[in-house]
């Protein structure tokens, strides 16, 4: 009887733990110095867990045409950053499961085109003009104050 009670308690704990992880909006921020330095020189340094390794590899192999910009780097830097991104990608650990859940096999290289991002932002409106009031899809910190720390909960303001 005691063994059954213990087993039921443990199962309840596992379900509770899994549901808490599913709602957690925090992921590991970029903690690789070179990646943080190079990526954040032009834009928010997106956490590696937001894309699978195949997407990061494609993105890093075409830096000369990085979303309309030339973001070329030396070979050693490309190799080091690619290794970091692939080692921490959405398909490298359980934390990335949230980003890969429901994703088709056709992973984009734009985080804002992933199924997870589109689901989470379906009720948001974004602008594509140059008004100072506009919020761009890739501007995470506009709505997520602590995004640089890997915390993507929405601002209370």
Q: Which sequence spans correspond to the domains of the chain?
A: 27-149
114 Cβ partners below 8 Å, 6+ apart?
50, 51, 99, 103, 107, 108
Least confident of 29-38, 49-58, 114-123: 114-123
- Band the pLDDT of 71: cuts 50, 70, 90: very high
Three-state helix/strand/coil letters over 7-64: HHHHHHHHHHHHHHHHHCCECCCCCCHHHHHHHCCCCCCCCHHHCCHHHHHHHHCCHH
Which residues are registered as beta bridge partners of 69?
Answer: 66
138 class by beta-carbon count within 10 Å (0-12 exposed, 13-18 middle, 19+ buried): middle
- Band the pLDDT of 156: cuts 50, 70, 90: low
pLDDT tens-place string over residues 6-31: 777 777 766 655 544 444 556 889 99
100 Cβ partners below 8 Å, 6+ apart?
52, 90, 91, 116
Q: How many CB atoms lie within 10 A of CB 91?
A: 17
Per-residue model confidence (pLDDT) at position 127: 66
Res 57 pLDDT > 80: yes
Overall average pLDDT of the 119-146 stretch: 74
Buried b (16+ CB within 10 A) or exposed e, 72-88: eeeeebeebbbebbbeb
Token reading at 44: 């928010």
Least confident of 56-65, 105-114, 121-130, 141-150: 121-130
Per-residue model confidence (pLDDT) at position 13: 67
Overall average pLDDT of the 108-128 stretch: 81
């Amino acid at each position: 009887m005691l063994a059954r009670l213990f087993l039921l308690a443990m199962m309840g704990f596992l379900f509770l733990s899994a549901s808490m992880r599913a709602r957690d909006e925090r992921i590991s921020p970029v903690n690789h110095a070179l990646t943080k330095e190079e990526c954040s020189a032009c834009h928010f340094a997106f956490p590696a867990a937001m894309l699978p390794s195949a997407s990061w590899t494609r993105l890093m192999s075409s830096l000369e045409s990085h979303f309309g910009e030339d973001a070329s780097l030396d070979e050693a830097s490309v190799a080091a950053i690619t290794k970091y991104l692939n080692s921490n990608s959405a398909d490298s650990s359980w934390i990335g499961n949230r980003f890969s859940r429901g994703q088709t096999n056709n992973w984009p290289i734009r985080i804002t085109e992933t199924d997870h991002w589109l689901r989470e932002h379906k009720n948001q409106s974004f602008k594509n003009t140059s008004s100072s009031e506009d919020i761009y899809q890739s501007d995470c910190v506009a709505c997520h104050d602590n995004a640089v720390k890997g915390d993507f909960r929405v601002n209370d303001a």
